[in-house]
Amino acid sequence: MTFTNWTANYVDISGWVKDTAADGHHVAIRFRSIDHSTGWVTDWAWRTEYDGVDATTTFTTYAKPSADDLDSIGMQVAVREGTTIVRSCTAWA
């Protein structure tokens, strides 16, 4: 994921997720944000790749929370089966 124009309450986001394993699972990525004054973590919509091994999904979007600040921003990537997370990890900026 690439974050640009990052301010206290806005960020442009672009990125991609690629399935690299022929394991029958899907891969997904989503934006996450933290408001340090409240400790509130917001999980944004998943971007999911369903087409199987070597398929890639790219996206461009933005985040503009209605009340919370974007003090820390990050991404979570996951291997999923439907809506169930098989395994995941998060990195923060």
Q: Which fold has domain 2-92?
A: Immunoglobulin-like (2.60.40)
Nearest 5°: CA angle at 9, between 41 and 1? 70
Query: Model-level pTM?
Result: 0.86
Closest to 59 (Cα-Cα) out of 75, 39, 41, 83? 75
Q: Render pLDDT for 20-60 as a digit per residue (tens, 0 to 9).
A: 999 999 999 999 988 888 888 889 999 999 999 999 999 99
- Give the model confidence (pLDDT) of 49-88 as tens digits: 999 999 999 999 888 877 777 888 899 999 999 889 999 9
